[in-house]
Structure 1
């Protein structure tokens, strides 16, 4: 807590006259860069194992989905690197504009979107790919909410936490109408952590937990055909025969510690979403528990490294926004792995940088790029400067 208030002396790579790329390389978290690259390569490996059966069913080239995953993954990594070169203020300005655009796109989904026969209108069809705006809404909202919260630290600043809460409730309502309770839960969880970092009192935090429980119960009542059956099955411990969850849990059980071997798994022939929502089941069956633990360790390390570097940050906007972005990655990966392992009710959600999906890979690149920009080593100015010298616009 003392470090958050008084800061720490960092080596400042911005005052030594180095070229831009050299300064970036000295200041960026290179370990996180390496970990993200490893996640992407693991995603290609698992995609090559999981996607050929789907390509065969759809009459496509066996490596169709792997090729597309490589393309969007490289694009996502490129976007990540470009954003990581930006200053926090530039990231904030771009993200606020993006937040407005993406929010409008989510509002127009019932009119212009498509459901691809999945019962939820979440995508725009662009011909060569589908676009899921809620994926991009998450990082943009985190930056927008952090901007509002940090504004309350200025003299005579607005009630940032209250304003961000109103925006959150509006977005949760929009996502619930699709319905997309998973993405709505991600937004709420990230916002709750950001409010904690922003210094909300314990009474407010307890109220947030109560509101989350009430929201989950409301979703259970309002969506009897979509949410209620999943929660009922989870609480009762029942797994429907020939369901995706039954195939996934069987695959994890049969994989054991070291798996059945590369290409020897059978779950990819039964699960239509083996390359996306249930990619962990493929990993567990063919590579065993060891691969699942590796994935957990990678996501956990990325999250903890971000929080460790942010603990020294005195600019409230950077500290709040960076924590929110780290929580997005952590909570989404936990939900994906938790569903496959039957630790959570069924919920379709991709594993960042590992699952197939153009929108997911691009959004993950944007999220990590912002996080890398915020966790770069920079000079820690006096607290007075951080609060009042233009950090909040």
Structure 2
């Protein structure tokens, strides 16, 4: 009965890694991740065909690549999810320095692929977007610093993490990639709040973000154009936002039918940033609600499991990863329905993209590792022992 209520199962002596992993991992979240990827492949069968034809490639070229990337992502997710929190922390800190260096070198060795923002390294056969990999490992780095600052005579971890996040946000804004910059800042802010940040400081940081947005609006034509398009009362039907809005309107509750959608022939990013518009047009609001429910399930189940953790690093890192994952999905969907300005952000595990998928596998692998049930690892156990005088 105790295991059913609290989810804490004792470690069996000499138990193999795979059975122990299966017994302790959050199977609901794992199932939701698999379903999201399946939906992504289903939508990719429709959304990527026009792009393949425009590039004189086989019809299902991008779907086949997505399957390969997906297998790689799930392999990474499984391996990382078997790690202990200590191994997750060590790996995250080491990978952070590599990802940070890759991000810093983008202005010198990166490419924009004609999109106006230098965000990628071209490898010839594929491309890599460092910011996708930096997000999850930065969460681990920041959580480690914040947790260390809570120890007696610990380092000024919160101040160091603040300096790091401001540096990263500055590098991302230079690309420009304001969407990823906001997401990184949000993830850090959530962890800082959970770590016990003073409210006046958070208000001051929010004011600084607004001021930075005003400066960016006046100094970046790319940023100003997106904000003006979002604030405009009329949507240009020939823009990506116009096509996406019309597709969602045409889809209604149950969609126009599988393969009958037209937005995929007009939107160049239908298979990536605006994949939700394809889902809404062909399958209707019902599929969109299912997708939202899947993201919400992963995010809230992770947060509920983390609430019982007494280790500060696990709580902070897990909260940052879960919130960043959920908010990225929220931003992507919000852009498609014109609740937010265009960000150029993928829908995790649904949009096409190697960097997005593999980095997502890394992030969710770490989240699954941190939310696995551990004996005597919950804060309730700690209070229970204190109540018995232990």
TM-score interval w.r.t. the shorter chain?
over 0.9
Pick aligned residue for 1:310 from 306, 314, 325? 306
Pick aligned residue for 1:194 from 191, 198, 201? 191
What root-mean-square deviation, in Å, do the aligned CA atoms of Structure 1 and Structure 2 show? 1.6
Shift of 1:214: 2.0
Pick aligned residue for 1:124 from 121, 136, 148? 121
The more displaced of 13-22 and 122-131 is 13-22
Pick aligned residue for 2:336 from 334, 340, 360? 340
Question: Does structure 1 residue 71 correspond to structure 2 residue 82?
Answer: no
- Checking the alignment, whether the CA contact within 8 Å between 2:236 and 2:242 is kept in structure 1 is yes
1:58-99 per-position Cα deviation (integer Å, ceiling 9, x unaligned): 000000000001110111011101100001110111111111
1:141-162 per-position Cα deviation (integer Å, ceiling 9, x unaligned): 0000001000011110112111
SS in 1 for 2:44: helix
In the aligned structure 2, how far is the partner of 1:33 from the partner of 1:211?
38
Q: Which residue of 2 aligns with 1:259?
A: 255
Shift of 1:128: 1.2
In the aligned structure 1, how far is the partner of 2:215 from the partner of 2:75?
41
1:356-375 per-position Cα deviation (integer Å, ceiling 9, x unaligned): 00000001100100000000
Shift of 1:203: 1.6
TM-score, normalization: structure 1? Answer: 0.93
Q: Which residue of 2 aligns with 1:326?
A: 322
In the aligned structure 1, how far is the partner of 2:222 from the partner of 2:10?
52
Q: Which residue of 1 aligns with 2:295?
A: 299
Question: Does structure 1 residue 161 correspond to structure 2 residue 158?
Answer: yes
Shift of 1:9: 6.4
Shift of 1:204: 2.0
Question: Does structure 1 residue 40 correspond to structure 2 residue 30?
Answer: no
1:316-349 per-position Cα deviation (integer Å, ceiling 9, x unaligned): 0000000000011111101100000000011111
In the aligned structure 1, how far is the partner of 2:188 from the partner of 2:315?
13
SS in 1 for 2:170: helix
Give the gaps of 5 or more residues in structure 1.
1-7, 387-393
Q: Which residue of 2 aligns with 1:391?
A: none
Question: Does structure 1 residue 271 correspond to structure 2 residue 267?
Answer: yes
SS in 2 for 1:227: helix
1:171-229 per-position Cα deviation (integer Å, ceiling 9, x unaligned): 01111111111110000001110011111122222223222222222221221x10111
- Checking the alignment, whether the CA contact within 8 Å between 2:258 and 2:282 is kept in structure 1 is yes
- Checking the alignment, whether the CA contact within 8 Å between 1:314 and 1:380 is kept in structure 2 is no
Pick aligned residue for 2:174 from 172, 177, 183? 177
Q: Which residue of 1 aligns with 2:77?
A: 80
Q: Which residue of 2 aligns with 1:97?
A: 94
Q: Which residue of 2 aligns with 1:12?
A: 9
1:15-34 per-position Cα deviation (integer Å, ceiling 9, x unaligned): 44422111111110011110
Give the gaps of 5 or more residues in structure 2.
383-390
SS in 1 for 2:376: coil
Distance 1:362 1:382, change over 3 A: closer
Pairs aligned (count): 377
Pick aligned residue for 1:138 from 135, 138, 163? 135
- Checking the alignment, whether the CA contact within 8 Å between 2:309 and 2:377 is kept in structure 1 is no
TM-score, normalization: structure 2? Answer: 0.94
- Checking the alignment, whether the CA contact within 8 Å between 2:8 and 2:376 is kept in structure 1 is no
In the aligned structure 1, how far is the partner of 2:306 from the partner of 2:12?
21
SS in 1 for 2:158: helix
Shift of 1:242: 0.7
